[in-house]
Amino acid sequence: MQPAIGLGRVVAVTNLEEFFRGALRGVLADQHVAVDGQTEHYVVNMLTLFARAERLYESTPDGPSLKPLVQMFSDALEAATVAERDAALQRVGDVSLFMAGFFMRSFARRLVDVDYHIAMGGQAYGTLALSLERGRSRGPAQVFAELAAKFQPLVDALGQISDAAYVYTQRDILRLYEVWLKTGSVRARRLLRRLGVEAAPVALRTH
């Protein structure tokens, strides 16, 4: 039995995969986002895998760590074989989606922002989809193509799962507004409205 977050409290779940499947379906329906069943299955498996920290982080002499995305993407493009490149691109996309969805609030304290993760993850999945199409792996190619095309809505979906037990501060509200301006996140705008803030874009000054 493992703990999971839901409805403002910690609840116990006996099957983490089923928890993520139910949560993902619920938030995708709430956000009016449709994905293919294979794509849903892929995201659920990725969430279940990364729920174990040792599968998300890499072991280093200094402890668990994540390479910067740009280094991960560069390593993928310089891989010795197509299989190694595709596996590395998949990891870039997976890590970007997971981090942008579940740890969006933490980016406020970092140099690299959530929109960077969205751009890098979408590009990695899109490049992988093209590679698999050339290799005639059409089923997986379609999954990664959909992940690339719907990366932002999926980030919003994972963010909504993460939001279930979070209490927002004034700083968080400002952060949500910044995220909405940068990414056009539907989730961010909905949360702002729920928190009593009507999000309106800042008018650009003309000289």
Is the model's pLDDT at 113 over the cut of 80? no
Q: 113 or 52: whose pLDDT is higher?
A: 52
**What does the pLDDT read at residue 170?**
66
Q: 146 or 136: whose pLDDT is higher?
A: 146
Within a 13 Å sphere around the CA of 167, how many CA atoms are in the beta-carbon half? 2
**What does the pLDDT read at residue 193?**
79
**What does the pLDDT read at residue 4?**
40
Is the model's pLDDT at 144 over the cut of 80? yes
Lowest mean pLDDT among 40-44, 108-112, 193-197: 108-112
Model confidence band, residue 6 (pLDDT cutoffs 50, 70, 90): very low
Cα angle 179-101-97, degrees, rounded to a multiple of 5: 110
Interior/surface letters 123-158, b for 16+ CB within 10 angstroms, e for the rest:
bbbbbbbebbeeeeeeebbbbbbbbbbbbbbbbbbb
Within a 13 Å sphere around the CA of 29, how many CA atoms are in the beta-carbon half? 6
**What does the pLDDT read at residue 154?**
95
The candidate with the shortest Cα–Cα distance to 117, out of 70, 158, 176, is: 70
CA dihedral sign of residues 66, 71, 75, 77: positive
Average pLDDT in the chain = 80
